[in-house]
Amino acid sequence: MTRMHVLSILVENHAGVLSRVAGLFSRRMYNIDSLSVGVTENPDVSRMTIVTMADEDTLVQIKNQLAKLVNVIEITELSKDSAVLREHVLVKVSAKDRVGVMQICDIFRANVVDISREYMTAELTGAPSKISAFIAMMEQYEVKDLVRTGLTGLARG
């Protein structure tokens, strides 16, 4: 049965590592639904968070192929129960109804980070379902622009 898997991959922080990991997915015809990469507390190590849809057999293949890459240090699968998973979104909407936008932001605990005569930009960090619900509510205010990060996370404890 195909389902969403979140892989947290520690890699050496060198040029070309992202390309090699993405190339592995591409060559094997595995899709990357979301990809987030950033340096860790150790500047020599980066953490990639990759979301992919796969059955268990395919997931085992993905993990085995990733483990063969020289620059891969560690692979961990994150689950909703054992990890903190978050996304970030910036949404630029019409400022015609500032009060309405502010009310939605208050309900979701989003922040207005930019405002002009024509537009307001709000940001929100949270679980993917919260981000989706926020976007759905903001659509009534003429969304001009939107950017949503990929999922990122850390194991609990």
pLDDT in tens, 42-81: 999 999 999 999 999 999 999 999 999 999 999 999 998 9
- The stretches in the chain having pLDDT less than 50 are none
pLDDT of residue 80: 87
Domain range annotation of the chain = 3-78, 83-155
Q: What local confidence, expressed as pLDDT, does residue 157 receive?
A: 85
* CATH class label, 3-78: alpha beta
pTM reported for the whole predicted model: 0.86
Q: What is the pLDDT of residue 61?
A: 95
Separation between Cα atoms, residue 117 and residue 80, nearest integer Å: 40
Q: Is 61 exposed, middle or buried (0-12, 13-18, 19+ CB in 10 A)?
A: middle
3-78 and 83-155 in the same fold:
yes
CATH no. for 83-155: 3.30.70.1150
Alpha-carbon span 135 to 140, nearest angstrom: 9
DSSP for 78-129, written as a single string: E-TTTEEEEEEEEEEEESTTHHHHHHHHHHHT-EEEEE-SSEEEEEEEE-HH
